[in-house]
């Protein structure tokens, strides 16, 4: 993997760290490519069930590297989008661990995650209009689906910074930690998630995301195509057997 994206494993959870601390983990082409390569490799591994995404040295990400942007270094990967993630997030559950700033593209990366754990000192915002830009990596599409419309509009149009506590009140941030403890909190939550059956987790995530746009008369048919294979899996049999035998299940991802 690249120096710009560090990958560490803790049991069946992989921690991906944006590693450009001198640039407040601003996203450049190298980060985007490194993230896409890491997720492609990890999504294919049955022994990894969930991810944590964080930034090095106390900052999640200040967004797109504007200096790189001026030189034509675009932080986009074909098919995956900004940061190698916003257009095609991984199939497995992804938990954001946010310290410091999650601004612009950094906030959009957090919005690409399934769960957000943030330090009490973390700040979020979409300041693109202040730079003549637009939050086009999913921010202005995802945010109104997660929080009330008028609040999303305020955040998107003012470009101001908003504290983690406010976004926790709105239900966007799942958990608040002490400063410096976001990664620990996110890893704890990711391991709780990863204790469940891998195929069931991926199917659940897929249905939750995709069903938002399903017509009412097709919902259960579309869901069946995703979940029925899970009911016929070896892991489903293992889960039932483990329950009957009062023991912990041994998942195979099969």
128 is annotated as an active-site residue: yes
In what helix (H) or strand (E) does residue 94 lie, and over which residues does it extend? strand 94-98
Active-site pick, 108, 121, 154, 218: 108
Q: Are 235 and 252 a contacting pair, CB within 8 Å?
A: yes
Q: Is 108 a catalytic residue?
A: yes
Instruction: Quote the tokens at residue 212.
Output: 């938002």
Q: 175-177 and 115-119 as β-strands: parallel, antiparallel, unpaired?
A: parallel
CA pair distance 64, 56, nearest whole angstrom: 16
Cα distances (angstroms) measured from residue 248 to each of 47, 55, 126, 198, 251: 17, 33, 44, 15, 9
* Residue 128 burial (CB count, 10 A): 23
Distance, in Å, from the CA atom of 62 to the CA atom of 141, rounded to the nearest integer, reads 19
Q: Which of 4, 99, 121, 128 is catalytic?
A: 128
* Other CB atoms within 10 Å distance of the CB of residue 127: 18
Active site residues: 108, 128
């Amino acid at each position: 993997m690249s120096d710009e994206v560090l990958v560490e494993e803790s049991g069946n959870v992989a921690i991906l760290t944006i590693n450009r601390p001198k640039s407040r983990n601003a996203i450049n082409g190298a980060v985007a490519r490194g993230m896409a390569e890491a997720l492609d490799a990890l999504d294919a591994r049955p022994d990894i069930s969930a991810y944590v995404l964080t930034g090095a040295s106390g900052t999640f990400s200040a967004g797109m590297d504007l200096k790189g942007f001026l030189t034509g270094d675009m932080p986009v990967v074909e098919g995956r989008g900004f940061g190698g993630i916003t257009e095609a997030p991984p199939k497995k559950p992804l938990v954001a661990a946010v310290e410091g700033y999650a601004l612009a593209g950094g906030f959009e990366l957090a919005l690409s995650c399934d769960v957000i754990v943030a330090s009490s000192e973390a700040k979020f915002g979409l300041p693109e209009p202040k730079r003549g830009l637009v939050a086009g990596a999913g921010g202005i599409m995802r945010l109104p689906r997660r929080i009330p419309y008028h609040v999303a509009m305020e955040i998107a149009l003012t470009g101001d910074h908003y504290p983690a506590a406010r976004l926790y009140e709105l239900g966007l941030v799942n958990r608040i930690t002490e400063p410096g403890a976001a990664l620990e909190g996110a890893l704890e939550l990711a391991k709780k998630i990863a204790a469940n059956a891998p195929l069931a987790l991926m199917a659940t995530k897929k249905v939750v995301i995709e069903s938002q746009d399903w017509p009412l008369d097709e919902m259960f048919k579309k869901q069946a195509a995703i979940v029925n294979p899970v009911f016929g899996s070896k892991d489903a049999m293992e889960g039932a057997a483990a329950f009957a035998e009062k023991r912990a299940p041994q998942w195979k991802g099969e």
